[in-house]
Structure 1
Amino acid sequence: MFRLGELFSGPGGLARGAINADIGNDNFRIVHAWANDYDESTCETYRNNICRNNPGSVICGDVRQLKISPDNLADIDALAFGFPCNDFSTVGEQRGFDGTYGPLYTYGVRALTAFNPQWFLAENVSGLSSANGGNAFPKILADLRAAGYRIYPHKYKFEEYGVPQSRHRIIIIGIRDDLEFEFRPPAPTTPDPKDYVTVEKVFNRPMPADVSNNEMPRMTQKVIDRLNHILPGHNAFNSRLPKELQLNVKGAKISQIYRRLDPHKPSYTVTGSGGGGTHIYHYSEPRALTNRERARLQTFPDDYKFVGTRENVRRQIGMAVPCHGAQLIFEAIMRTFAGIEYASVPCNISFDNTIEIQQNAINIKDVTQERLIG
C-alpha cells in the first residue's frame, strides 16, 4: 500500500485517479495521506470527494508557508504534485522561472528530500519543455534527479488514453535510486484517431436529474446570434459572420475564440478561462458548456461535486488532471512495483540516468538544498 501526499492538489483529479487505480492485487493500492492547495473552495471539493472522513488531512494555504516535514505531515510512500503551470503554458507569455509560479516546483523537491518516498509523479503542461529558452526543463529534471530519483519524463496525449479531450501534458515519474524498478509509460489505449472518445459520445450519455454543477451559463443575445453562425468545429475567425457579429480584433487571431466543439472528435483543451469568447461551446446548442459538461471532458464522474462559485468551479475543472488518464498512469506505477508486465512505450523525452548524470545530480543537489534551506 502506498500512502500518497499531494502538493498543488487542485480539486482531486490526480487523487481520484490514484485511489481508483486497481491492478487486481490489494497489496498494491494507493491511499490518501494528505494534500495541500491554496484555494479554500478547491480544498473543500477535495475533502468532500477524496477524504470526507478525514477533512483535516487537507491543508489549505500557500505552499510557501507550509511546513513540509514529517513533524508536521503524515509519513508518505509516494508524492504527487502538479506544480502550477501558468508560467510554463504556451497560451500567453511564457515567463518560466521569472514568473510567480515557475519556482514552485522546488517545493516538490523539498518534499522529496524531507520524506524520501518510494516514488513520485510530477505533472505540468507540454510548454514546460520550451520555457526559459528551453533551459527550465533540464534544470527541473536535474533537481528531481538530485533528490535521489531515477526519472522517467514522458509527454502524454490524453486523447490517446480514452480521454475525450485533446490534452497534452508532461508527466515525470521518479523512482528512488535504491529501488530496483524501471518505469515504462503505459501504451496508449486508443492510439488510432478513429477510436478516440468523442464529445458526442460523452454528451449523449443521459445527465442525472439531480446532478450538481450543471447550471446553464448566461449568454447574451449577441453571443447566441454569433454562435448560430458558427459551424461545429469552427471559430469566430473562420466562419462567415455578419458584419455586426464580427470581432474587432487586430493581429493574431486565436482559434479558440468562440470555437464550437466538433461532435465527432475529442474536445480541444479544457482550461480554467472563460472570458472573451474562451468558454468551450456546444456543437449543437448556441451556448457555452456547463461546468458538469466540462467535468465530463475531464473524466470526473457525475457524482463528483465541486464546491465554489460558478467561475471558481470552472477554474478548478480546467486546472485538473483528467481522472481516467491519471488512473492509467498510477496503475502502470503499481504494476512496475508488483512486477507485473503491461503494454508500454519508451519515454518520448530523453533524460540520462547514468552514473555521470548521477554525479552531476549530486553536485546540483548540494546547491538545491542550499537554495531550499535559504
Structure 2
Amino acid sequence: MSNQAPKFIDLFAGCGGLSLGLEDAGFMPMFVNELSPQAMDTYLSNRAATHPLLADKYHVNDIKELVLSPDRLDDLASGLLRDYGVDVARGELDLVAGGPPCQGFSGIGHRRSYSVAREQLPSNHLYQDMAHVIHRLRPRMFLFENVEGLIRGRWTPGGSKGEIWADVLETFHGIPGYSVRWKLVHARDYGVPQNRPRVLLVGVRDDQPFATGDDGDAVQVGYLPAPAGEAPGIEAIWSDLVDPAYEPGGATTAYPHAPSNRWQEALRLDPRTGKVLPKGAPLTDHEYSKHSPHVVAKFQHMIDTGGELLDHMRTKKFAQRVLPREWGPKGPTITATSLPDDYVHYSQPRVPTVREWARLQTFPDWYQFKGKRTTGGLRRAGNPRIGLHEREVPKYTQIGNAVPVTLASAVGAHFKGLLER
C-alpha cells in the first residue's frame, strides 16, 4: 500500500471488520486497540504480512493504557511520525475510528449480562476514552459506531429514554474544533445480507474543506454515503458451501462447489494471487455443530414446513427460525448476533457454521478467526453483579460483534473521497 494512503487508528477494533472495510477502501491501519486477546489475535494475524508494525509495537489491549498514562499518547504520536511519517502535531492523522463494546446497549447483550444498571457496566463508558484520544490526536475525521439500542437506552430502569445517547452526543460535540453529525443506517442498504441497524456518528475537523455547519444528518450533509448496493440472499452467498456429505460434528475442509455468482467469487478471491479459489481448494471454519438426533429432526421438520415448530419441539431458548433462501420485498430481516443458535440453515438441519456466519458479515473466506469456535456461560457473558467483566470471545462472537466489511468499505470509500478533496 502506498505511503500516500490515508492513515487511521482503530479503537475497540474487535476482530477487524471495520478495519478490513477501510483497508479495502484504501486506508492504512497504524495502530489498533482491542481488549479481547482472542479478537486481537484474529486482527493481528490477518495483517501480519501486510502491516507487521501493528503486531510489533502498534497495538494495545486496554485503552486505559492510552488515556491514563500522561505520556502514552505523546509517545504514540512520536512513533507515528517516526515509523509512518504522520505528524500528529501538524494535523496529519486522517481518521480515528471505533465502536466501543455494546453489551449493555443491545437487547441480547443486556439480557445476557444479568440485572445490573447500564451505568454499572464499565464497558458502557468507553466512548469517553475514545473522545479523549480524539481530543489529543486531533484527526481530520473520526467515526463512532454502535448499536441502535444506544439511541433509546436508559442508564437506570427509572431513567429517561434516550439519556445514554444524549450523554454520548454531548461528549463528542464537546470535542472542540469539530463538526459532528450522525445517522442510523441499515447495513442491508449498503449490500450486506443483513438488516443490521447501526448508529454511525462522524466528526470532521473544522479546518477541512468539506466540514459543514449545515443542519441535517450525516448522510444529508455528506459525511456518510447515501445507501447503495444490492443485498444478496442467503442462498446466493452460501450455496457453494453446501456439502451434501456433511455430518453433524464433522467438517468440510475443501470447497464442495465452484462459485456460481459474483458474490461468491468476491468472497473466494485470494488477495495473494488475485484469483478466485476453485472447487477443491482448502476451506476453513466450516465445522458443523454436533446436534442430537432430536434437534436434527426438529430442524428438518422446520425446513420441510417452512419454519413450523410443533409444541413438543419448543424450548426456552430464543425463538429459532429457518433462514430463507431469498429475502422478501423488504430485503434482509435478520441481524447476526454473537451466537448462531437462533437460526437454521435453509437446506440442512443445522445451525450455520463459522464460515457461513462470517459471510453474513461479508468477511472474505481468506480471513481467519482465532480462538475457540464457541463457548458459553460465565466465560462468554461474565457476571457484572460480582465484578466479573472479563469475557471470552470465541469465533462466533467475534464475527457477530463486527462491523460488516461491505458497510465499512462503503463508508471508507466515501471518507477517502472527502479526504482527497
State the TM-score, normalizing by the size of structure 1. Answer: 0.78
Whether the 8 Å contact between 2:202 and 2:223 is mirrored in structure 1 is no
CA distances 1:82-117 after superposition (whole Å, capped 9, x unpaired) = 111111113364844342321011111111111111
Q: What is aligned with 1:367? A: none
- Report how far residue 38 of structure 1 moved: 1.2
1:302 aligns with 2:319: no
Q: What is aligned with 1:20? A: 24
CA distances 1:68-93 after superposition (whole Å, capped 9, x unpaired) = 51314644431011111111113364
1:114 aligns with 2:136: yes
Whether the 8 Å contact between 2:96 and 2:142 is mirrored in structure 1 is yes
Q: Structure 2: which amino acid aligns with 1:176? A: R
Q: What is aligned with 2:250? A: none
Q: What is aligned with 2:235? A: 200
Q: Structure 2: which amino acid aligns with 1:227? A: F
- Structure 2 counterparts to residues 60-209 of structure 1, below 5 A: 60-66=60-66, 67=69, 69-72=73-76, 74-75=79-80, 76-91=93-108, 93=110, 95-132=117-154, 133-148=161-176, 149-182=178-211, 183-190=222-229, 195-205=230-240, 207=255, 209=281
Secondary structure of 2:188's counterpart equals helix
Work out the CA distance in 2 between the residues paired with 1:8 and 1:77. Answer: 18
Work out the CA distance in 2 between the residues paired with 1:281 and 1:79. Answer: 38
- Report how far residue 57 of structure 1 moved: 4.1
Runs of 5+ consecutive residues of structure 1 not aligned to the other structure:
22-28, 340-374
- Report how far residue 48 of structure 1 moved: 1.7
- Structure 2 counterparts to residues 308-347 of structure 1, below 5 A: 308-311=371-374, 312-339=394-421
Q: Which deviates the most, 199-208 or 167-176?
A: 199-208
1:215 aligns with 2:287: yes
Whether the 8 Å contact between 1:87 and 1:100 is mirrored in structure 2 is no
1:246 to 314, 317, 324: 314
2:13 to 2, 9, 15: 9
Q: Which deviates the most, 205-214 or 102-111?
A: 205-214
Q: Figure out how many residues of one structure are paired with residues of the other and give that number.
A: 315
Whether the 8 Å contact between 1:163 and 1:322 is mirrored in structure 2 is yes
Work out the CA distance in 1 between the residues paired with 2:199 and 2:9. Answer: 20
Q: What is aligned with 1:372? A: none
Secondary structure of 1:155's counterpart equals strand
Secondary structure of 2:294's counterpart equals helix
Secondary structure of 1:310's counterpart equals coil
Whether the 8 Å contact between 1:160 and 1:188 is mirrored in structure 2 is yes
Whether the 8 Å contact between 2:146 and 2:199 is mirrored in structure 1 is yes
Secondary structure of 2:344's counterpart equals coil
Work out the CA distance in 1 between the residues paired with 2:140 and 2:106. Answer: 29
CA distances 1:28-75 after superposition (whole Å, capped 9, x unpaired) = x42110101112221111112234322224534222234451314644
Change in 2 beyond 3 A, CA 1:324/1:80: same
CA distances 1:294-344 after superposition (whole Å, capped 9, x unpaired) = 0011011111111111111111111110111101011111212233xxxxx
Work out the CA distance in 1 between the residues paired with 2:124 and 2:33. Answer: 18
Q: Structure 2: which amino acid aligns with 1:219? A: H
Q: What is aligned with 1:38? A: 35
Q: Structure 2: which amino acid aligns with 1:63? A: I
Whether the 8 Å contact between 1:198 and 1:264 is mirrored in structure 2 is yes
CA distances 1:350-373 after superposition (whole Å, capped 9, x unpaired) = xxxxxxxxxxxxxxxxxxxxxxxx
Work out the CA distance in 2 between the residues paired with 1:57 and 1:16. Answer: 20
Q: Structure 1: which amino acid aligns with 2:7? A: R
- Runs of 4 or more, structure 1, over 6 Å off, are none
Whether the 8 Å contact between 2:6 and 2:416 is mirrored in structure 1 is no
Whether the 8 Å contact between 1:232 and 1:283 is mirrored in structure 2 is no
Q: Which deviates the most, 223-232 or 127-136?
A: 223-232
Work out the CA distance in 1 between the residues paired with 2:102 and 2:314. Answer: 32
Work out the CA distance in 1 between the residues paired with 2:282 and 2:185. Answer: 34
Q: What is aligned with 2:296? A: 224
Q: Structure 1: which amino acid aligns with 2:314? A: Q
Q: Structure 2: which amino acid aligns with 1:33? A: M
Whether the 8 Å contact between 1:234 and 1:259 is mirrored in structure 2 is no
Q: Which deviates the most, 288-297 or 330-339?
A: 330-339
State the TM-score, normalizing by the size of structure 2. Answer: 0.70
Whether the 8 Å contact between 2:301 and 2:309 is mirrored in structure 1 is yes
Q: Structure 2: which amino acid aligns with 1:36? A: N
Q: Structure 1: which amino acid aligns with 2:225? A: P
Change in 2 beyond 3 A, CA 1:267/1:305: farther
Q: Which deviates the most, 36-45 or 91-100?
A: 91-100
Runs of 5+ consecutive residues of structure 2 not aligned to the other structure:
81-92, 112-116, 155-160, 212-221, 242-254, 256-276, 375-393
Whether the 8 Å contact between 1:233 and 1:261 is mirrored in structure 2 is no
Q: Which deviates the most, 196-205 or 96-105?
A: 96-105
Q: What is aligned with 2:216? A: none
Work out the CA distance in 2 between the residues paired with 1:58 and 1:262. Answer: 43
Whether the 8 Å contact between 2:103 and 2:110 is mirrored in structure 1 is no
Secondary structure of 2:286's counterpart equals coil
Q: What is aligned with 2:157? A: none
Change in 2 beyond 3 A, CA 1:321/1:233: farther
Change in 2 beyond 3 A, CA 1:263/1:121: same
Work out the CA distance in 2 between the residues paired with 1:272 and 1:287. Answer: 17
Work out the CA distance in 2 between the residues paired with 1:78 and 1:234. Answer: 46
Change in 2 beyond 3 A, CA 1:179/1:97: farther
Work out the CA distance in 2 between the residues paired with 1:41 and 1:92. Answer: 19
